[in-house]
């Protein structure tokens, strides 16, 4: 008798590293672009909104704190934890047969929509 092959129950390291790297690269690029726009000397209304959208898209927890408390807080540890949890969820869905490109694109799209919503909350305040 042969023993039935057992499927590994955990998430693989290589897919998790790949997805995490892609999502963190997006986050770093968005935060860098957002902060460079927001901290520049001549910032108009529309450009300021674009900068804050990029900032809140890349650093969702920092963007939420900025909308609630004002200023530009940077809670990098909490933002990295959020991106790691999202990457873990994406890898779990990919292992169930979903398309990784579509899932990563959806996550980035949701992050941009989150940035737009947070940016509109800052304008209302």
User: How does pLDDT run across 51-75, given as a tens digit for each residue?
Assistant: 999 999 999 999 999 988 888 888 9
- Quick one: pLDDT at residue 14? 83
Does a structural domain hold residue 6? Answer: no
- Domain count along the chain: 1
Q: Is the pLDDT of residue 77 over 70?
A: yes
Does a structural domain hold residue 31? Answer: yes
Question: What is the pTM (predicted TM-score) of this model?
Answer: 0.84
Range of weakest confidence among 3-17, 19-33, 58-72, 91-105: 3-17
Does a structural domain hold residue 5? Answer: no
For range 94-121, the mean pLDDT: 92
Computed over every residue of the chain, the mean pLDDT equals: 88
Within 8 A by CB and 6+ apart from 119, the residues are 49, 52, 53, 56
Which has more pLDDT, 121 or 115? 115
Does a structural domain hold residue 45? Answer: yes
Does a structural domain hold residue 9? Answer: no
Give the span between the Cα atoms of 112 and 32, in whole angstroms.
15
Does a structural domain hold residue 107? Answer: yes
Does a structural domain hold residue 35? Answer: yes
The token duo for 15 is: 């897919």
Q: Which residue range(s) make up the domain with 18?
A: 14-124
């Amino acid at each position: 008798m042969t023993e039935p092959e057992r499927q590994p129950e955990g998430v693989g390291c290589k897919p998790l590293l790949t997805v995490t790297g892609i999502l963190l690269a997006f986050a770093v690029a968005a935060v860098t672009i957002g902060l460079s726009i927001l901290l520049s000397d001549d910032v108009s209304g529309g450009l300021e909104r674009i900068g804050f959208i990029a900032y809140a898209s890349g650093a969702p927890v920092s963007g939420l704190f900025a909308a609630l408390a004002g200023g530009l807080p940077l809670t990098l540890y909490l933002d990295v934890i959020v991106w790691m949890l999202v990457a873990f969820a994406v890898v779990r869905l990919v292992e169930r047969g979903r398309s990784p490109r579509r899932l990563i694109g959806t996550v980035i799209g949701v992050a941009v929509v989150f940035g737009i919503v947070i940016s509109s909350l800052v304008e209302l305040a």
